[in-house]
Amino acid sequence: MKESPKILCVSANPALDRRIAVQQLRVGEVNRAIGAEPAAGGKSAHVAFVAHTLGAEVRWLAFLGGPEGEDCCAGIRVRGVTPVVVPIAGRTRTNLELIDTASGAVTEILEPGPTISEVEKVRFLDEFQTQLRDVGVAILSGSLPSGVGNLFYAELVKIAKTAGCQVLLDTSGEALTMALEAAPDLIKPNAQEVSTLLGRPIHSVDDAIAAAKELQNRGLRIVIISLGALGAVAVSGQSVLHGTAPEVKPVSTVGSGDSFLAGWAVAETHGLPLTECLRTAIACGTANCLADSPGVFPIELIQQFSPEVHISECNTSNG
């Protein structure tokens, strides 16, 4: 067995997640919760939890402030992940996930997060550089808080590449557009995010393959585009893969993209072929659909779904 991979998960805009289940959500009326589960959250936290479940040694670097930040830090530590905190004067945000158990509909309410000062930003960049000294992979995921600027991820990508560290990026909007200039090793947008990025609709697997190739030509090593019920495509060099998940009845899909990314990162770090990286990623995303809390599920669930994932190699002339 190879040595456990060391992974740094970066959370510029972490959150304290609260998942609330109601029998039937009635807008404008009193709703009584069946359950209310607070947990450390934000996309990067979900990535960190799944990477740890898969056996990686994981550190989680984040801006944290106020009592919500303290709760978030404790929630990270209890999941076996090592928190690395850059303290801020503001308070860590809270995200709310409302689950209508009758219909299965999930409604998310995401707070914008605190404003980061220039001094806090510089401390974060310094700490990021320090943490890269003994990790092989840095995973940057989620939105950016006010104050750091849309170039923040591009700055982190450049620092990681200078340090010889692989860097995986999962974000959207201007933060993604600007980070592409720094050429991260991997990006994982969804169809809607790619549509916004390239200015054209992504309706099919062929659309996604063509878009992934176009993005790869900007200097990216791997481009993955998630397509919801249509699965995901992954393009690396001349290899074009399409994967689909087994059918499940989801509790919630929140965190499934993050779980996917964690599965890919750990599998690739172990040197598995691209087909198995995609298989592991999709199995992780599927397992998350049944989780009581995003990113928190047993490895046995991943092992159960992995053989049921379908991977096909696409004709490289597509797109």
Per DSSP, 116 falls in state P
Cβ atoms of 251 and 290 closer than 8 Å: yes
Quote the CA–CA distance of 8 and 137 in Å, as a whole number. Answer: 6
Residues ≥6 apart with Cβ < 8 Å to 206: 318, 319
Q: Which of 17, 100, 258, 292 is catalytic?
A: 258
What number of other Cβ atoms are within 10 A of residue 85's Cβ? 18
Residue 258 catalytic? Answer: yes
DSSP 242-280: EEEPPP---S--TTHHHHHHHHHHHHHHTT--HHHHHHH
Please classify residue 273 by burial: count the beta carbons closer than 10 Å to its beta carbon, then call 0-12 exposed, 13-18 middle and 19+ buried: exposed
Q: Tell which residue, 204, 202, 214, 289, has the closest CA to residue 245.
A: 289
* Helix pair 43-53, 274-288: axis angle to 10 deg: 110
The H or E element spanning position 153 is helix 152-162
CA 290, CA 120: separation in Å to the nearest integer? 37
Closest CA to 225 of 213, 238, 234, 217: 234
Angle between helix 43-53 and 256-269 (nearest 10)? 50
* DSSP assignment of 61-78: EEEE-HHHHHHHHHHHHH
Query: Which residues are known to be catalytic?
Result: 258
